[in-house]
Amino acid sequence: MLPTDQEGYENALKGYLAGEKPDAKNLEIVELDIPVATGFSNETIIFTAEWDLEGKKHSEKFVGRIEPKDGGMFPVQQRGLEKSCYLQHRIMQTVAEQKVAPIPELLRFEENLEPLGRSFFAMSFIEGKIPSDNPRYTVEGFLVNSSTPEERRLLVEDGLRTMAGIHSINWQDADLQWLDPSGIGNPSTQNQIDIWRDYSESELKGREHPVLSQAFEWLEVNDPKDERVGLSWGDSRIGNIIWQNYEVAAVLDWEACSLLPNEADLGWWLMFDRMSFDDMGVPRMEGYPDREEMISLYERFRGEKTRDIHYWEVFATMRFCSIFIRLGDRLVDAGFMKEDSNPAIPNMVTASLARYLGVENPTPSIL
């Protein structure tokens, strides 16, 4: 079912593209796919436009990102970055300029797209495959059903190679000071622990979260104080990549980016892999590298040994656990779940975090 304000979307997109293509004539939106929005993350729309230019007919497909009505899912890194669409657009521009990873061609960022009244940007549509979250790519989909062992390994290798390329960016040379939460040119892991603790405490609204509390304590005590800070993609996993022939065609979903040691992204990658195989009780597909193989591959592509990888897996799971607080509450607020089954605290991520820490989990999982 399409939203009732489809005409409003079409008018907004026509106005946006008219600004991008001032010489275009007879510009029309001919196809528009607007998934029913939940407001949990950026709203994604896919649309095709047609126009006349210098006597020729043109047609192009785009992807648009609209700011969620209730704000982004991730904590704000720095003043001025409150709008998730603005953050994504700006960091994707930087990565594209550095030429270290394929990024869709970006159109301009619009602060207030009328008549929708929300921030927006569009980018070129890239054909390809995206591993699914639901059902999880380890259970169903092309990796399980039609890929060879060699193709599975190729996919993981190229994903890790691309991530290592992102980590080659020198954040100071790339003028990423605007992303520095320290404000003094010295971003640290402690900055991020503070940001995520404040975020989770705000979202908990006085509720107790024993496992997450222990995680913050553990992360502070065991902080490796790694000085090798760089750009962290933030949501580093194969489901945020468009794949063509098992190679990376585009890297997506940058709203969780920050300045951290490279291992933060590897930790998130490994955490999501563990949750997609081990925590779901799913056997690893033939040819799909395991944890140790992925660490070794990343080290080869990055050209240096990883440090304190268990720390960064715990750090990643803390972040995911914190996000689930906001997600669970929004599921309830939207009417998708009842209050007594709110997964904000009792969920599979909390259970996984307890296992990483080796502590008891007094909040049995609902999900």
Neighbours of 224 (CB within 10 A): 12
Phi, psi of 43 (to 5 degrees): -80, 130
Helix (H) or strand (E) holding 261: strand 258-261
**Residue 122 in contact with residue 16, Cβ under 8 Å?**
yes
49 and 150 co-located in one domain? no
96 and 45 co-located in one domain? yes
211 and 343 co-located in one domain? yes
User: Structural domain tally of the chain?
Assistant: 2
| Residue 213 predicted with pLDDT over 80 | yes
Predicted pLDDT of residue 2:
40
Q: How confident is the model at residue 365 (pLDDT cuts 50, 70, 90)?
A: low
96 and 152 co-located in one domain? no
| Residue 39 predicted with pLDDT over 50 | no
In a domain, 134, yes or no: no
**Residue 256 in contact with residue 236, Cβ under 8 Å?**
no
Eight-state DSSP code of residue 237? S
Q: How confident is the model at residue 345 (pLDDT cuts 50, 70, 90)?
A: very high
Report the alpha-carbon distance of residue 241 to residue 278 in Å, rounded: 22
179 and 295 co-located in one domain? yes
In a domain, 362, yes or no: no
Q: Which amino acid is at 365?
A: S
Q: Which of 58, 89, 124 is the last residue of a domain?
A: 124
In a domain, 334, yes or no: yes
Could you tell me which of 300, 307, 317 has the C-alpha nearest to residue 355?
317
207 and 279 co-located in one domain? yes
Predicted pLDDT of residue 41:
66
The residue-averaged pLDDT of 306-318 equals 98
Q: Which two tokens stand for residue 130?
A: 């995206």
Q: Which of 91, 124, 157 is the last residue of a domain?
A: 124
The residues, ordered by sequence, that sit 6+ positions from 89 with a Cβ below 8 Å of its Cβ are 106, 109, 121
Predicted pLDDT of residue 366:
54
In a domain, 304, yes or no: yes
In a domain, 325, yes or no: yes
| Residue 211 predicted with pLDDT over 70 | yes
110 and 154 co-located in one domain? no
| CA-CA-CA-CA torsion sign (10, 11, 14, 15) | negative
The residues, ordered by sequence, that sit 6+ positions from 137 with a Cβ below 8 Å of its Cβ are 131, 143, 144, 238, 239, 276
Q: What percent of the chain has pLDDT over 70?
A: 96
In a domain, 17, yes or no: yes
Predicted pLDDT of residue 38:
43
**Residue 221 belongs to what domain range?**
142-357
What are the pLDDT digits (tens) for 229-283? 999 999 999 999 999 999 999 999 999 999 999 999 999 999 999 999 999 999 9
Angle between helices 348-357 and 309-333 (to 10 degrees): 160
Predicted TM-score (pTM) of this structure: 0.94
In a domain, 365, yes or no: no
Predicted pLDDT of residue 250:
98
Predicted pLDDT of residue 36:
59
The residues, ordered by sequence, that sit 6+ positions from 281 with a Cβ below 8 Å of its Cβ are none
Phi, psi of 313 (to 5 degrees): -70, -40
Q: Which two tokens stand for residue 125?
A: 């549509």
Could you tell me which of 111, 114, 133 has the C-alpha nearest to residue 11?
114
Q: Which of 124, 158, 193 is the last residue of a domain?
A: 124
Predicted pLDDT of residue 149:
98
| Residue 163 predicted with pLDDT over 90 | yes
Coarse DSSP helix, strand, coil percentages of the chain, rounded to the nearest 5 percent: 40, 20, 40
24 and 60 co-located in one domain? yes
Predicted pLDDT of residue 58:
95
89 and 173 co-located in one domain? no
Q: Which amino acid is at 53?
A: L
What are the pLDDT digits (tens) for 91-122? 999 999 999 999 999 999 999 999 889 999 99
In a domain, 1, yes or no: no
Range name among 14-23, 78-87, 307-316, 330-339 with the lowest pLDDT average: 330-339
Predicted pLDDT of residue 59:
97
315 CB burial (10 A radius; 0-12, 13-18, 19+): buried
Neighbours of 106 (CB within 10 A): 16
Q: For the domain that residue 109 is a member of, what is the CATH number?
A: 3.30.200.20
152 and 234 co-located in one domain? yes
Rounded to the nearest integer, the mean pLDDT of the chain is 94
192 and 318 co-located in one domain? yes
Predicted pLDDT of residue 40:
57
